[in-house]
Amino acid sequence: MIDAVQKSFFNLLSQSALLKRMASHYGMASPASFARRFIAGETVEEAINVARTLQSKGFDLTLDYLGESVRTHEEADGAAREYVHLIDVLMASGIERNISLKLTQLGASVDRATCIDNLRRILDAAERHGFYVRIDMESSAYTDLTLDIFETLWQRGHRNLGVVIQAALKRSDADVQRVVALGGRMRLVKGAYKEPPDVAYARKADVDAAFVRLMQRLLDSGEYPAIATHDPKMIDATLAYAEARGLPPSHYEFQMLYGVRRDLQRALAADGYRVRVYVPFGQEWFPYFMRRLGERPANVAFVVRAMLRDRGAS
């Protein structure tokens, strides 16, 4: 219950225009600013520099140009153009060709046709250059639409496309089966959004049990699943199940967020497991940042310490 209250509180804060203005001023002001622990930068150049460093340490990458919940056709079109430009820039940079995006950034809140058209533009550009595109999962209000759009474009032949499943949602067993039947690739996460109790598990123990159940199903029948967690118990459960099934590390990968549990990232990579780091960047970083704080109390403690340090230095 504490996890649910904490998540709800930070999701509420993420909607504050005042906090967003304050964070925009202080959070990324210098290389040592508190938000840079979790955000690679506000520009693609900053993100590429972070990505190169991570790649040199043996990590795989996926870049995410942050933004969500646009309300007009013009904003959605602009976001699609930014992603097409991002693909060109990443192509020239020589770093790994892997990106993530949110459908509400491409017009899912405007209308379905707009969103599909914008995503198709990005996929066409991605396919020309050998990029892989992952659709992030947002709140449960968009789960049906996200999976429908994923399946629509998959059926149209776009195979450089994956999707995310949230273990916290009670519907996810059926959703995993649906995507497995298509042959699509999935990233399994616990879920960062505050959801009503009829839609999602409220107790951490129930979310963990669902995560383990879905992880096992993906390792058994999924297409190169991505196990995205910072929870050592979930990681140990994954390793134990893979070993019991005789699955090599090449059968799946772990995914973690930039700046979160870097000790686990290094340890898994050192042991020969594939670890992909999710690298977010862009000026619209505040909602993402607040969700990260809501997931782990240690994240909050880090930011408070950083803010006190910065205040003392000013």
Spatial distance between the Cα atoms of 176 and 155, rounded to a whole number of angstroms: 17
**Of the candidates 47, 43, 24, the residue with the CA atom closest to the CA atom of residue 34:** 24
**Rounded CA separation 135/284 (Å):** 18
Q: How many other C-beta atoms are found inside a 10 Å radius of the C-beta of residue 306?
A: 17
The answer to whether residue 187 is catalytic is yes
- What's at 279, amino acid-wise? V
Catalytic site residue from 36, 37, 97, 187: 187
Annotated catalytic residue 236: no
Bridge partner list, 257: 278
Of 64, 136, 175, 208, which is the active-site residue?
136
Please state, in angstroms and rounded to a whole number, the distance separating the CA atoms of residues 150 and 69.
18
Q: Distance between CA atoms of 238 and 250, rounded to whole angstroms?
A: 13
Distance, CA of 253 to CA of 273 (rounded, Å): 7
Nearest to 51 by CA among 62, 67, 42: 62
Helix H or strand E encompassing 207: helix 204-221
Which residues are part of the catalytic machinery? 136, 187
